């Protein structure tokens, strides 16, 4: 069972997975051989949705709801830099699952599940998707593996005792759900505005601990289950044309575009 604070209430540990992705300001380029996206010499940063998750975890700690924040990243050794960013934002410690295998959602979910069973958090906050593959699958898979409650696409989170109230962004508007802890919550864009790490906090982050483990330590085989046959860039947009009348527009839509 999770530990207790001095006042007798349950300690709230939060796990926050953070992914290293191509920076959102960088124009993505496909490798010349079509095997994937070019990352050599490209600026990398934390997935924006994961920044939102870290910010929300820090805010919960500032409110006294959370007691410890653990940032987790998986991949090449450079992912430690992403963890350091999370530590500078306010996380307490980090865990790096080091592997050179191209990780897919199921493998990530299995490794997170193994870490969760060891760490026994009350809440796992994570971005709803990564901007590199847009899978939007890891959170849901993790909830299924652990048998925990889940609240996806969160734009507001309230924690009271053993219950979390999550306002979800759905196609028809907003949906409010009440879920029992422990739980998985995936964050949407309007949940908060992530803070910039201050220089003193960046310096402090260098001294915060990062545990290094391998997938084998977690009992997980990270080998890909899906094979990408080819990656191609979208076709170039052709220049538009101006039409003089509505009748000419309708004719072009019928005869050229063939959409009506």
DSSP string, the chain: ---B-TTSSBP-EEEEE--EEE-TTSPP-B-TTSSSB--TT--EEE-HHHHHHHHHHHHHHHTTS-SEEEEEEEESTTHHHHHHHHHHHT--EEEEEE--S---HHHHHHHHHHHHHHH--SEEEEES--TTT----HHHHHHHHHT-EEEEEEEEEEEETTEEEEEEEETTEEEEEEEESSEEEEE-GGG--PPPPPHHHHHHHTTS-EEEE-GGGGT-----SS------PPPPPPPP---SSHHHHHHHHHHTS---
More confident residue, 120 or 241: 120
Q: Is residue 197 part of a domain?
A: yes
Is the pLDDT score of 112 beyond 70?
A: yes
Is residue 7 scored above 50 in pLDDT?
A: no
What pLDDT digit, counting tens, does each position of 66-91 carry?
Answer: 999 999 999 999 999 999 999 999 99
What confidence tens digit (pLDDT) does each residue in 133-146 have?
A: 899 999 999 999 99
Mean pLDDT in residue range 256-260: 84
Per-residue confidence band for 9, with pLDDT thresholds at 50, 70 and 90: very low
In which domain, by residue range, is 179 found? 13-255
Asked if residue 50 has pLDDT above 50, the reply is yes
The CATH number of the domain where 34 resides is what? 3.40.50.620
Q: Per the domain annotation, does 4 fall within a domain? A: no
Query: Are residues 46 and 20 in contact, defined by beta-carbon separation less than 8 angstroms?
Result: yes
Report the distance separating Cα 45 and Cα 225, nearest Å. 26
Q: Count up the domains in the chain and report the number.
A: 1
Question: Pairing relation of β-strands 163-170 and 123-127?
Answer: unpaired
Tokens 């959170």 sit at which residue?
Answer: 139
Termini Cα distance of the chain: 62
User: Which of 131, 126, 119, 180 minimizes the C-alpha distance to 153?
Assistant: 126
Rounded to whole angstroms, the Cα distance separating 190 from 93 reads 26
Give the burial class of 96: count Cβ atoms within 10 A of its Cβ; 0-12 exposed, 13-18 middle, 19 or more buried.
buried
Average pLDDT of span 17-42 = 90
Q: What is the mean pLDDT of the chain?
A: 92
Residue 3 placed within a domain? no
Q: CA-CA distances (angstroms) from residue 193 to 21, 35, 49, 55, 113? A: 19, 35, 10, 8, 28
pLDDT of residue 198 exceeding 80, the answer is yes
pLDDT value at residue 10: 60
To the nearest whole percent, how much of the chain has pLDDT over 90? 78
Is residue 131 one of the residues assigned to a domain? yes
Task: Answer yes or no: is pLDDT of 182 > 90.
Answer: yes
Half-sphere exposure of 25 toward its Cβ, with a 13 Å CA cutoff?
Answer: 4
Is residue 199 a part of any domain in this protein?
yes
Is 8 within the bounds of a domain?
A: no
Asked if residue 251 is part of any domain, the answer here is yes
Would you tell me the crossing angle of helices 79-89 and 48-62 to the nearest 10 degrees? 30
Give the number of other CB atoms < 10 A from CB of residue 129: 23
- Domain membership of residue 7 (yes or no) is no
- pLDDT the model gives residue 8: 38
């Amino acid at each position: 069972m999770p530990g207790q604070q001095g006042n007798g209430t349950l300690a709230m540990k939060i796990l926050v997975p953070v992914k290293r992705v191509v920076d959102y300001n960088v124009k993505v380029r496909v490798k010349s051989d079509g095997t994937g996206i070019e990352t050599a010499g490209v600026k990398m940063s934390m997935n924006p949705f994961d920044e939102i998750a870290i910010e929300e975890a820090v805010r919960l700690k500032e409110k006294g709801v959370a007691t410890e924040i653990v940032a987790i990243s998986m991949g090449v050794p450079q992912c430690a830099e992403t963890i350091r960013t999370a530590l500078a934002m306010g996380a307490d410690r980090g865990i790096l699952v080091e592997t050179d295998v191209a990780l897919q959602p199921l493998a990530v979910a299995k490794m997170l599940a193994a870490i969760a069973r060891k760490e026994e958090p009350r809440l796992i906050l994570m971005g709803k998707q990564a901007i590199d593959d847009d899978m939007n699958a890891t959170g849901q898979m993790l909830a299924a593996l652990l048998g925990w409650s889940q609240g996806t696409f969160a734009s507001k989170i309230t924690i009271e005792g053993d219950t979390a109230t999550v306002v979800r962004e759905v196609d028809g508007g907003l949906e409010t759900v009440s879920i029992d802890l422990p739980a998985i919550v995936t964050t949407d864009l309007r949940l908060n505005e992530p803070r910039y790490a201050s220089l003193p906090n960046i310096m402090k982050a260098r001294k915060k601990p990062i545990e290094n483990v391998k997938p084998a330590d977690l009992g997980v085989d990270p080998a890909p289950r899906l094979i990408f046959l080819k990656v191609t860039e979208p076709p170039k947009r052709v220049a538009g044309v101006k039409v003089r009348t509505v009748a000419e527009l309708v004719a072009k839509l019928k005869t050229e575009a063939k959409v009506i």
